[in-house]
Structure 1
Protein backbone atom coordinates (compact mmCIF):
# COMPACT_ATOMS: atom_id res chain seq x y z
CA UNK A 1 0.00 0.00 0.00
CA UNK A 2 1.32 3.44 -0.92
CA UNK A 3 2.27 5.65 2.00
CA UNK A 4 0.06 8.71 2.36
CA UNK A 5 2.23 11.80 2.19
CA UNK A 6 1.63 15.06 4.02
CA UNK A 7 0.90 16.81 0.71
CA UNK A 8 -1.59 14.07 -0.18
CA UNK A 9 -3.41 14.48 3.15
CA UNK A 10 -3.47 18.25 2.79
CA UNK A 11 -4.82 18.01 -0.77
CA UNK A 12 -7.47 15.50 0.29
CA UNK A 13 -8.57 17.86 3.07
CA UNK A 14 -8.87 20.79 0.65
CA UNK A 15 -10.77 18.72 -1.92
CA UNK A 16 -13.09 17.31 0.75
CA UNK A 17 -13.71 20.79 2.15
CA UNK A 18 -14.51 22.14 -1.33
CA UNK A 19 -16.99 19.32 -1.90
CA UNK A 20 -18.68 19.67 1.49
CA UNK A 21 -18.74 23.47 1.43
CA UNK A 22 -20.53 23.09 -1.92
CA UNK A 23 -23.02 20.41 -0.92
CA UNK A 24 -23.60 21.33 2.75
CA UNK A 25 -22.55 24.97 2.84
CA UNK A 26 -19.65 26.41 4.79
CA UNK A 27 -21.63 26.57 8.04
CA UNK A 28 -23.03 23.06 7.57
CA UNK A 29 -19.71 21.34 6.94
CA UNK A 30 -17.89 20.57 10.18
CA UNK A 31 -14.19 19.87 10.44
CA UNK A 32 -15.15 16.34 11.53
CA UNK A 33 -17.19 15.91 8.33
CA UNK A 34 -14.26 17.17 6.26
CA UNK A 35 -11.79 14.86 8.03
CA UNK A 36 -14.07 11.88 7.47
CA UNK A 37 -14.59 12.74 3.79
CA UNK A 38 -10.81 13.13 3.33
CA UNK A 39 -10.04 9.95 5.30
CA UNK A 40 -7.75 11.92 7.60
CA UNK A 41 -7.91 11.72 11.42
CA UNK A 42 -9.66 14.78 12.85
CA UNK A 43 -6.66 15.65 15.01
CA UNK A 44 -4.50 15.90 11.89
CA UNK A 45 -6.68 18.64 10.39
CA UNK A 46 -5.16 21.19 12.76
CA UNK A 47 -1.66 20.16 11.70
CA UNK A 48 -2.46 21.41 8.18
CA UNK A 49 -4.97 24.17 8.93
CA UNK A 50 -5.19 26.31 12.05
CA UNK A 51 -8.90 26.92 11.53
CA UNK A 52 -11.85 26.23 9.27
CA UNK A 53 -11.30 29.73 7.85
CA UNK A 54 -7.74 28.77 6.86
CA UNK A 55 -9.14 25.71 5.13
CA UNK A 56 -11.63 27.94 3.30
CA UNK A 57 -8.74 30.10 2.07
CA UNK A 58 -7.03 26.97 0.74
CA UNK A 59 -10.25 26.06 -1.09
CA UNK A 60 -10.41 29.54 -2.65
CA UNK A 61 -6.77 29.20 -3.72
CA UNK A 62 -7.53 25.77 -5.19
CA UNK A 63 -10.37 27.21 -7.31
CA UNK A 64 -8.13 29.94 -8.73
CA UNK A 65 -5.18 27.61 -9.31
CA UNK A 66 -7.38 25.00 -10.99
CA UNK A 67 -9.01 27.50 -13.35
CA UNK A 68 -5.63 29.07 -14.16
CA UNK A 69 -4.08 25.66 -14.88
CA UNK A 70 -6.94 24.66 -17.19
CA UNK A 71 -6.88 27.99 -19.05
CA UNK A 72 -3.10 27.82 -19.44
CA UNK A 73 -3.43 24.31 -20.88
CA UNK A 74 -5.95 25.60 -23.41
CA UNK A 75 -3.71 28.53 -24.35
CA UNK A 76 -0.74 26.20 -24.65
CA UNK A 77 -2.40 24.06 -27.29
CA UNK A 78 -1.85 26.71 -29.95
CA UNK A 79 -5.33 25.93 -31.26
CA UNK A 80 -7.23 28.56 -33.24
CA UNK A 81 -9.04 31.16 -31.12
CA UNK A 82 -12.51 29.74 -31.81
CA UNK A 83 -11.39 26.30 -30.63
CA UNK A 84 -9.92 27.89 -27.49
CA UNK A 85 -13.24 29.67 -26.86
CA UNK A 86 -15.05 26.31 -27.07
CA UNK A 87 -12.52 24.81 -24.68
CA UNK A 88 -13.02 27.67 -22.20
CA UNK A 89 -16.77 27.06 -22.32
CA UNK A 90 -15.94 23.40 -21.69
CA UNK A 91 -14.10 24.39 -18.52
CA UNK A 92 -17.16 26.36 -17.44
CA UNK A 93 -19.41 23.36 -18.21
CA UNK A 94 -17.37 20.93 -16.09
CA UNK A 95 -19.52 19.74 -13.23
CA UNK A 96 -22.69 20.90 -14.96
CA UNK A 97 -24.37 17.58 -14.15
CA UNK A 98 -24.47 18.74 -10.53
CA UNK A 99 -25.18 22.44 -11.08
CA UNK A 100 -28.93 21.89 -10.99
CA UNK A 101 -28.56 20.18 -7.59
CA UNK A 102 -25.97 22.33 -5.81
CA UNK A 103 -25.36 25.42 -7.93
CA UNK A 104 -21.88 26.63 -8.80
CA UNK A 105 -19.14 25.56 -6.40
CA UNK A 106 -17.23 28.82 -6.76
CA UNK A 107 -20.32 31.03 -6.42
CA UNK A 108 -21.41 29.13 -3.31
CA UNK A 109 -17.96 29.63 -1.79
CA UNK A 110 -18.01 33.36 -2.56
CA UNK A 111 -21.43 33.70 -0.92
CA UNK A 112 -20.53 31.66 2.16
CA UNK A 113 -16.99 33.00 2.61
CA UNK A 114 -18.27 36.60 2.44
CA UNK A 115 -19.95 36.07 5.80
CA UNK A 116 -16.63 35.63 7.63
CA UNK A 117 -13.80 36.89 5.40
CA UNK A 118 -14.24 39.21 2.43
CA UNK A 119 -10.63 38.59 1.30
CA UNK A 120 -11.21 34.84 1.05
CA UNK A 121 -14.43 35.46 -0.89
CA UNK A 122 -12.57 37.86 -3.21
CA UNK A 123 -9.87 35.26 -3.74
CA UNK A 124 -12.45 32.69 -4.87
CA UNK A 125 -13.96 35.36 -7.16
CA UNK A 126 -10.63 35.71 -8.93
CA UNK A 127 -11.54 32.50 -10.76
CA UNK A 128 -14.43 34.33 -12.45
CA UNK A 129 -12.21 37.33 -13.23
CA UNK A 130 -9.66 35.01 -14.80
CA UNK A 131 -12.33 33.38 -16.99
CA UNK A 132 -13.56 36.79 -18.12
CA UNK A 133 -10.05 38.01 -18.88
CA UNK A 134 -9.16 34.89 -20.88
CA UNK A 135 -12.45 35.00 -22.77
CA UNK A 136 -11.78 38.66 -23.61
CA UNK A 137 -8.22 37.98 -24.77
CA UNK A 138 -9.34 35.05 -26.90
CA UNK A 139 -12.19 37.05 -28.44
CA UNK A 140 -9.69 39.77 -29.33
CA UNK A 141 -7.62 37.04 -31.02
CA UNK A 142 -10.66 36.35 -33.24
CA UNK A 143 -10.72 40.00 -34.33
CA UNK A 144 -13.34 41.36 -31.91
CA UNK A 145 -12.61 44.89 -30.67
CA UNK A 146 -11.27 45.01 -27.11
CA UNK A 147 -14.22 46.92 -25.57
CA UNK A 148 -16.74 44.63 -27.30
CA UNK A 149 -14.76 41.57 -26.23
CA UNK A 150 -14.72 42.77 -22.61
CA UNK A 151 -18.49 43.24 -22.53
CA UNK A 152 -19.10 39.91 -24.28
CA UNK A 153 -16.82 38.11 -21.82
CA UNK A 154 -18.59 39.70 -18.83
CA UNK A 155 -21.97 38.82 -20.32
CA UNK A 156 -20.87 35.20 -20.88
CA UNK A 157 -19.80 34.66 -17.27
CA UNK A 158 -22.95 36.42 -16.03
CA UNK A 159 -25.18 34.32 -18.31
CA UNK A 160 -23.40 31.15 -17.15
CA UNK A 161 -23.99 31.96 -13.49
CA UNK A 162 -27.60 33.01 -14.12
CA UNK A 163 -28.24 29.79 -16.03
CA UNK A 164 -26.84 27.76 -13.13
CA UNK A 165 -29.13 29.49 -10.63
CA UNK A 166 -32.13 29.08 -12.92
CA UNK A 167 -31.33 25.42 -13.62
CA UNK A 168 -30.98 24.80 -9.89
CA UNK A 169 -34.18 26.67 -9.05
CA UNK A 170 -36.22 24.83 -11.68
CA UNK A 171 -34.33 21.52 -11.42
CA UNK A 172 -34.04 21.70 -15.20
CA UNK A 173 -30.50 20.93 -16.38
CA UNK A 174 -31.59 21.49 -19.99
CA UNK A 175 -31.75 25.24 -19.30
CA UNK A 176 -28.03 25.20 -18.68
CA UNK A 177 -27.33 23.19 -21.84
CA UNK A 178 -29.39 25.65 -23.87
CA UNK A 179 -27.53 28.55 -22.26
CA UNK A 180 -24.18 27.03 -23.26
CA UNK A 181 -25.42 26.75 -26.84
CA UNK A 182 -26.48 30.42 -26.74
CA UNK A 183 -23.16 31.48 -25.22
CA UNK A 184 -21.29 29.57 -27.92
CA UNK A 185 -23.37 31.27 -30.62
CA UNK A 186 -22.61 34.65 -29.07
CA UNK A 187 -18.88 33.87 -28.92
CA UNK A 188 -18.80 32.41 -32.43
CA UNK A 189 -17.64 28.94 -31.41
CA UNK A 190 -18.96 25.44 -30.87
CA UNK A 191 -20.85 24.56 -27.69
CA UNK A 192 -19.14 22.21 -25.23
Structure 2
Protein backbone atom coordinates (compact mmCIF):
# COMPACT_ATOMS: atom_id res chain seq x y z
CA UNK A 1 0.00 0.00 0.00
CA UNK A 2 1.30 3.45 -0.83
CA UNK A 3 1.99 6.00 1.87
CA UNK A 4 -1.19 7.77 2.86
CA UNK A 5 -1.15 11.51 2.26
CA UNK A 6 -1.42 13.50 5.44
CA UNK A 7 -3.37 16.63 4.58
CA UNK A 8 -3.65 19.12 1.81
CA UNK A 9 -4.88 19.23 -1.71
CA UNK A 10 -4.20 15.59 -2.59
CA UNK A 11 -6.35 14.45 0.32
CA UNK A 12 -9.10 16.89 -0.72
CA UNK A 13 -8.97 15.42 -4.21
CA UNK A 14 -9.21 11.87 -2.90
CA UNK A 15 -12.15 12.76 -0.64
CA UNK A 16 -13.87 14.56 -3.53
CA UNK A 17 -13.34 11.52 -5.77
CA UNK A 18 -14.77 9.21 -3.11
CA UNK A 19 -17.88 11.40 -2.80
CA UNK A 20 -18.29 11.55 -6.58
CA UNK A 21 -17.73 7.80 -7.02
CA UNK A 22 -20.31 7.05 -4.35
CA UNK A 23 -22.85 9.52 -5.78
CA UNK A 24 -22.38 8.95 -9.50
CA UNK A 25 -20.45 5.69 -9.73
CA UNK A 26 -16.88 5.33 -10.90
CA UNK A 27 -18.00 4.80 -14.47
CA UNK A 28 -20.07 7.98 -14.32
CA UNK A 29 -17.29 10.16 -12.91
CA UNK A 30 -14.56 11.79 -14.95
CA UNK A 31 -11.38 13.40 -13.68
CA UNK A 32 -12.98 16.69 -14.72
CA UNK A 33 -15.88 15.91 -12.34
CA UNK A 34 -13.41 15.21 -9.54
CA UNK A 35 -11.52 18.45 -10.23
CA UNK A 36 -14.80 20.40 -10.11
CA UNK A 37 -15.77 18.69 -6.83
CA UNK A 38 -12.33 19.50 -5.42
CA UNK A 39 -12.78 23.09 -6.59
CA UNK A 40 -9.71 23.22 -8.82
CA UNK A 41 -8.93 23.38 -12.52
CA UNK A 42 -8.47 20.01 -14.20
CA UNK A 43 -4.86 20.87 -15.06
CA UNK A 44 -4.06 21.35 -11.36
CA UNK A 45 -5.54 17.95 -10.52
CA UNK A 46 -2.90 16.28 -12.70
CA UNK A 47 -0.20 17.72 -10.45
CA UNK A 48 -1.54 15.58 -7.59
CA UNK A 49 -2.96 12.57 -9.46
CA UNK A 50 -1.59 11.48 -12.82
CA UNK A 51 -4.20 8.94 -13.93
CA UNK A 52 -7.70 7.68 -13.24
CA UNK A 53 -6.19 4.37 -12.10
CA UNK A 54 -3.92 6.14 -9.59
CA UNK A 55 -6.92 8.04 -8.24
CA UNK A 56 -9.01 4.87 -7.86
CA UNK A 57 -6.20 3.18 -5.93
CA UNK A 58 -5.80 6.27 -3.74
CA UNK A 59 -9.55 6.23 -3.02
CA UNK A 60 -9.34 2.55 -2.09
CA UNK A 61 -6.41 3.32 0.23
CA UNK A 62 -8.58 6.01 1.83
CA UNK A 63 -11.42 3.49 2.24
CA UNK A 64 -9.02 1.01 3.85
CA UNK A 65 -7.78 3.75 6.17
CA UNK A 66 -11.33 4.79 7.11
CA UNK A 67 -12.29 1.19 7.82
CA UNK A 68 -9.20 0.60 9.93
CA UNK A 69 -9.82 3.82 11.87
CA UNK A 70 -13.34 2.60 12.68
CA UNK A 71 -12.11 -0.83 13.73
CA UNK A 72 -9.34 0.69 15.86
CA UNK A 73 -11.84 2.99 17.57
CA UNK A 74 -14.13 0.05 18.39
CA UNK A 75 -11.43 -2.51 19.24
CA UNK A 76 -11.19 -1.87 23.01
CA UNK A 77 -14.89 -2.65 23.48
CA UNK A 78 -16.32 -6.01 24.52
CA UNK A 79 -18.43 -7.78 21.88
CA UNK A 80 -21.83 -6.34 22.94
CA UNK A 81 -20.49 -2.80 23.26
CA UNK A 82 -18.65 -3.28 19.95
CA UNK A 83 -21.88 -4.28 18.20
CA UNK A 84 -23.77 -1.35 19.77
CA UNK A 85 -21.11 1.14 18.63
CA UNK A 86 -20.96 -0.47 15.16
CA UNK A 87 -24.75 -0.22 14.79
CA UNK A 88 -24.61 3.42 15.91
CA UNK A 89 -21.98 4.05 13.21
CA UNK A 90 -24.20 2.40 10.59
CA UNK A 91 -27.07 4.67 11.60
CA UNK A 92 -25.12 7.95 11.59
CA UNK A 93 -26.65 8.94 8.25
CA UNK A 94 -29.39 6.55 7.10
CA UNK A 95 -30.35 8.80 4.18
CA UNK A 96 -26.79 8.63 2.82
CA UNK A 97 -26.66 4.88 3.40
CA UNK A 98 -29.92 4.33 1.54
CA UNK A 99 -28.84 6.55 -1.35
CA UNK A 100 -25.21 5.47 -1.71
CA UNK A 101 -24.95 1.98 -0.23
CA UNK A 102 -22.02 0.53 1.66
CA UNK A 103 -19.01 2.84 1.52
CA UNK A 104 -16.76 -0.15 0.81
CA UNK A 105 -18.98 -2.67 -0.94
CA UNK A 106 -20.50 -0.31 -3.50
CA UNK A 107 -17.11 0.61 -4.95
CA UNK A 108 -15.94 -3.01 -4.87
CA UNK A 109 -19.07 -4.17 -6.66
CA UNK A 110 -18.71 -1.61 -9.42
CA UNK A 111 -14.99 -2.24 -9.91
CA UNK A 112 -15.68 -5.98 -10.24
CA UNK A 113 -18.50 -5.34 -12.73
CA UNK A 114 -16.21 -3.09 -14.77
CA UNK A 115 -13.45 -5.70 -14.77
CA UNK A 116 -11.15 -3.06 -13.32
CA UNK A 117 -7.81 -4.38 -12.02
CA UNK A 118 -8.43 -2.46 -8.78
CA UNK A 119 -11.35 -4.82 -8.04
CA UNK A 120 -9.03 -7.22 -6.23
CA UNK A 121 -7.79 -4.44 -3.94
CA UNK A 122 -11.39 -3.41 -3.24
CA UNK A 123 -12.30 -7.03 -2.49
CA UNK A 124 -9.46 -7.20 0.05
CA UNK A 125 -10.98 -4.25 1.89
CA UNK A 126 -14.45 -5.83 1.91
CA UNK A 127 -13.00 -9.14 3.11
CA UNK A 128 -11.15 -7.37 5.93
CA UNK A 129 -14.42 -5.66 6.87
CA UNK A 130 -16.35 -8.97 6.74
CA UNK A 131 -13.80 -10.79 8.89
CA UNK A 132 -13.68 -7.99 11.46
CA UNK A 133 -17.47 -7.95 11.84
CA UNK A 134 -17.63 -11.76 11.93
CA UNK A 135 -14.95 -12.02 14.59
CA UNK A 136 -16.70 -9.56 16.90
CA UNK A 137 -20.29 -10.77 16.38
CA UNK A 138 -20.03 -14.55 16.03
CA UNK A 139 -20.69 -15.24 19.71
CA UNK A 140 -23.75 -12.97 19.63
CA UNK A 141 -25.29 -14.65 16.58
CA UNK A 142 -25.42 -18.23 17.73
CA UNK A 143 -22.22 -19.08 15.91
CA UNK A 144 -23.09 -17.70 12.46
CA UNK A 145 -20.04 -15.52 11.76
CA UNK A 146 -21.52 -13.72 8.74
CA UNK A 147 -25.05 -13.04 9.98
CA UNK A 148 -24.54 -9.40 10.96
CA UNK A 149 -22.38 -8.56 7.96
CA UNK A 150 -24.83 -10.07 5.48
CA UNK A 151 -27.84 -8.37 7.08
CA UNK A 152 -26.00 -5.04 6.92
CA UNK A 153 -25.03 -5.55 3.27
CA UNK A 154 -28.57 -6.60 2.41
CA UNK A 155 -29.95 -3.53 4.16
CA UNK A 156 -27.56 -1.28 2.24
CA UNK A 157 -28.45 -2.90 -1.08
CA UNK A 158 -32.24 -3.04 -0.79
CA UNK A 159 -32.49 0.41 0.81
CA UNK A 160 -30.37 1.82 -2.02
CA UNK A 161 -32.50 0.17 -4.71
CA UNK A 162 -35.68 1.47 -3.07
CA UNK A 163 -34.08 4.73 -1.81
CA UNK A 164 -35.69 4.00 1.54
CA UNK A 165 -33.82 5.21 4.64
CA UNK A 166 -36.60 3.91 6.92
CA UNK A 167 -36.13 0.37 5.61
CA UNK A 168 -32.39 0.72 6.22
CA UNK A 169 -32.94 2.02 9.76
CA UNK A 170 -35.43 -0.75 10.52
CA UNK A 171 -33.08 -3.46 9.22
CA UNK A 172 -30.13 -2.20 11.24
CA UNK A 173 -32.39 -1.65 14.24
CA UNK A 174 -33.43 -5.32 14.14
CA UNK A 175 -29.80 -6.25 14.74
CA UNK A 176 -30.09 -4.53 18.13
CA UNK A 177 -32.02 -7.62 19.24
CA UNK A 178 -28.65 -9.38 19.34
CA UNK A 179 -27.72 -7.08 22.22
CA UNK A 180 -30.71 -8.22 24.28
CA UNK A 181 -31.34 -11.91 23.57
CA UNK A 182 -34.58 -13.39 24.84
CA UNK A 183 -34.97 -16.77 26.47
CA UNK A 184 -37.29 -17.93 23.66
CA UNK A 185 -34.45 -18.00 21.19
TM bucket, shorter chain = 0.7 to 0.9
- Please state if 1:19 is matched with 2:19: yes
How many residues align? The count is: 176
1:183 aligned residue: 175
Larger helix fraction of residues: 1
1:113 aligned residue: 111
Q: Which residue, out of 148, 166, 175, partners 1:174?
A: 166
Give the conservation status (yes or no) of the 8 Å contact 2:98–2:163: yes
Distance 1:147 1:51, change over 3 A: farther
Distance in 2 separating the partners of 1:164 and 1:176:
7
- Give per-residue Cα distances to partners, 1:98-129, cap 9 Å, x unaligned: 122233332221122221424x2232233332
TM-score (structure 2 length as normaliser): 0.81
Distance 1:23 1:139, change over 3 A: closer
Distance in 2 separating the partners of 1:180 and 1:27:
29
* Gap regions ≥5 residues in structure 2: none
Mapping 1:61-140, distance limit 5 Å: 61-75=61-75, 78-114=76-112, 115-118=114-117, 120-139=118-137
Distance in 2 separating the partners of 1:155 and 1:124:
21
How far is 1:175 from its partner? 1.2
TM-score (structure 1 length as normaliser): 0.79
- Please state if 1:39 is matched with 2:31: no
